[in-house]
Amino acid sequence: MKNFFFVCTFLFFNNLYAQQAQQPPSPDAIYGQLFTDVQLQKILADGKTFVDCTPKQNIDSILNEYKIQKNADFDLKKFVLRNFNLPITPPLNNIKTEDDITQHIHNLWAVLKRNADVKTVVTQSLLPLPYPYVVPGGRFREIYYWDSYFTMLGLKQSGEIKLMENMVKNFAYLINTYGHIPNGNRSYYLSRSQPPFFCMMISLLATVKGNGVYNTYLPAMLKEYSYWMQGNTNLKPNEANKSVVKMQNGAILNRYWDSLHTPRPESYKEDYETAETTALQLAMRIKVASPEALQRILEENKANTYRNLRAGACSGWDFSSRWFADNLNINTIQTTQIIPIDLNCLLYEMENTIAKTYTQQQHTTQANIFYTKAKKRKAAILKYCWNANKGYFYDYNFATQQQADNITAAGLYPIFVKLANAQQAIAIAKITKKLLLKPGGLATTTLHTGQQWDAPNGWAPLQWIAVKGFNNYNQTALANTIATRWLALNNSVYKKTGKMMEKYNVEDITQLAGGGEYPSQDGFGWTNGVYLALYNIYK
């Protein structure tokens, strides 16, 4: 009977996913040619600005006026400013700089906090949330999925327990409303998710609210799991469907995925130019029978490039040499071919958390089903991502059936979720000390590509994952070194700038971080959270 109950429950959530309320359209769908012209002509300096704008009048009136005027000699920027309200970014730079960095962060929560949203019209891209939440800061005016787990680490240290709980409630709301947690609460983020930390948020909340929260959020956990696993039936070996990949030996693993294959609205010009460059390079290499055939091939190539760029954004590592075929150039991006070590470790944690919750409820059959899923995933991760000769975990390219050859901090996730054994942890520590440990903490990768998720940059979430992971295996000296170097770098930059930054240069600690599609942002949610959490351990 218990097994029957589980099957019915699981089928219910799978069916419920297909019955979500209709998703609101994104700005590119609403504004059409106006949107394309504004973004490609870079009327506003940051591509994310226009997608966050709100119209001052009826959208049909705006579009009709544009249709009439666009062929005339008129100023498109003035047209946009006349018809749209620009998004407001709080002036974080002007906040009083406290001498005590921890006090500064405690005070910042009030600046980064947003009250529950009021229901808005469809022409606004913001997806309203029913409870207060914390945004990262700067151009990031909305909640972000994986950022929020690390932000919550700091909220816990600040005693902001109600706000922590509200963050979890909002994510459960997004799962129940849209079937998954989108990249952020914007309509243009609905086509993808981000690294799935929801179960870990619940575990963090349980440390202050008790284990009852697991029972409360089990339906949402199951529903999110169904999202990541949709399409996993009837696959043949080496086939993929959405986020799911069936490996050569029949094991099921996952990849990052986006349901669309068009330019990201918030980075439209950047994606368009990348795809055009990629298509041009392909056209120079191939010979086809007709111009029509060439055009068809090039359009397919552009769509594939867009899909891979979007999947890279789904990973949170947008962008990194992890996703590039040549480890250097973004126009060789192949994210959807990669089995990412971090994603599969997080899904392993999700399966174990769901199993733990069922065990707590004394539903043994259901618990064993998910423990078995976790056991199989662990075996597959070890088979495809662990390299015993090199002593490290790597991403795996299921299309070429080869491991990646670049060292990245993503290879630390197995010690973060306690998937590795003691010998593997020792080997990982050696590689980390040799190749990733820098004067300011842990570098993201060993390669310098100009992308923000490559050297010389370091990021707060990866420092926490490393410190937590090495402490899991009694590698306390290395954990201490990473933490204290990172805290010292945060302090140094704060003294110079009065800011908590999105990312840091960990190789040359006299320089600020760079790279990426936009300037480095200050605020900053996950940096604040990790700083307070590490400071609490390493005062």
Residue 239 annotated in active site: no
Residue with tokens 């544009």: 66
Output the furthest CA–CA distance in the chain (Å, rounded).
Answer: 73
Domain annotation covers residue 4? no
Q: Catalytic: which of 224, 318, 349, 351?
A: 318
- Among residues 57, 78, 95, which one ends one of the domains? 95
- Do 428 and 356 lie in one domain? The reply is yes
Whether the pLDDT of residue 539 is over 90: the answer is no
Contact 323, 332 (CB under 8 A): no
Whether the pLDDT of residue 10 is over 50: the answer is no
DSSP H or E stretch at residue 113: strand 113-114
Domain annotation covers residue 13? no
Whether the pLDDT of residue 364 is over 90: the answer is yes
- Do 155 and 43 lie in one domain? The reply is no
* pLDDT at 230 (0 to 100): 96
Domain annotation covers residue 236? yes
Q: Catalytic: which of 147, 258, 342, 502?
A: 502
Parallel/antiparallel/unpaired status of strands 386-387 and 457-458: unpaired
- Do 460 and 375 lie in one domain? The reply is yes
Alpha helix ranges (H) inside 210-290:
212-229, 268-285
- Do 55 and 144 lie in one domain? The reply is no
Total domains present in the chain? 2
- Do 128 and 231 lie in one domain? The reply is yes
In terms of Cβ atoms closer than 10 Å to its own Cβ (0-12, 13-18, 19+), residue 282 is middle
Of the pLDDT bands very low, low, confident and very high (cuts 50, 70, 90), residue 98 is: confident
* pLDDT at 418 (0 to 100): 98
Taking only the tens place, the pLDDT of each residue in 78-91 is 999 999 999 987 76
- Do 435 and 484 lie in one domain? The reply is yes
What sign has the CA pseudo-torsion 455, 410, 516, 491?
negative
* pLDDT at 512 (0 to 100): 87
* pLDDT at 484 (0 to 100): 98
Domain annotation covers residue 295? no
- Do 447 and 468 lie in one domain? The reply is yes
Q: 402 forms bridges with which residues in the sheet? A: 397
Provide, rounded to the nearest whole percent, the portion of the chain with pLDDT above 90: 88
Domain annotation covers residue 290? no
9 compared with 280, residue with greater pLDDT: 280
* pLDDT at 15 (0 to 100): 44
* pLDDT at 288 (0 to 100): 86
CATH of the domain at 125: 1.50.10.10
Residue 147 annotated in active site: no
Q: For the chain, what is the mean pLDDT?
A: 93
Whether the pLDDT of residue 184 is over 70: the answer is yes
Taking only the tens place, the pLDDT of each residue in 485-532 is 999 999 999 999 999 999 999 999 999 898 888 888 889 999 999 999
| Of 109-118, 202-211, 238-247, the least confident | 109-118
Provide, rounded to the nearest whole percent, the portion of the chain with pLDDT above 70: 94
- Do 82 and 130 lie in one domain? The reply is no
Taking only the tens place, the pLDDT of each residue in 425-446 is 999 999 999 999 999 999 999 9
Instruction: Confirm whether pTM is higher than 0.75.
Output: yes
Taking only the tens place, the pLDDT of each residue in 292-329 is 999 999 999 999 999 999 999 999 999 999 999 999 99
* pLDDT at 122 (0 to 100): 62
For the chain, the distance separating the N- and C-terminal CA atoms, rounded to the nearest angstrom, is: 53
* pLDDT at 304 (0 to 100): 98
Quick one: which of 283, 335, 275, 281 has its CA closest to 310?
A: 335
- Do 390 and 423 lie in one domain? The reply is yes
- Do 90 and 100 lie in one domain? The reply is no
Cis amide linkage into residue 12, ω under 30° from 0:
no
Quick one: which of 109, 105, 107, 131 has its CA closest to 118?
A: 131
- Among residues 95, 122, 149, which one ends one of the domains? 95
Q: What is the mean pLDDT of residues 59-69?
A: 95
- Do 438 and 341 lie in one domain? The reply is yes
Taking only the tens place, the pLDDT of each residue in 227-253 is 999 999 999 999 999 999 999 999 999
Q: What is the DSSP letter of 47?
A: H
Taking only the tens place, the pLDDT of each residue in 410-428 is 999 999 999 999 999 999 9
Which distant-in-sequence residues (6+ apart) come within 8 Å of 385 by Cβ? Answer: 339, 341, 344, 393, 394, 395, 396, 403, 414
- Among residues 76, 95, 114, which one ends one of the domains? 95
Give the domain range for residue 39: 32-95
* pLDDT at 517 (0 to 100): 81
Whether the pLDDT of residue 535 is over 50: the answer is yes
- Do 452 and 347 lie in one domain? The reply is yes
Structure tokens at 348: 């392993």
| CA distance linking residue 231 with residue 214, whole number of Å | 26
Q: What is the mean pLDDT of residues 163-184?
A: 98
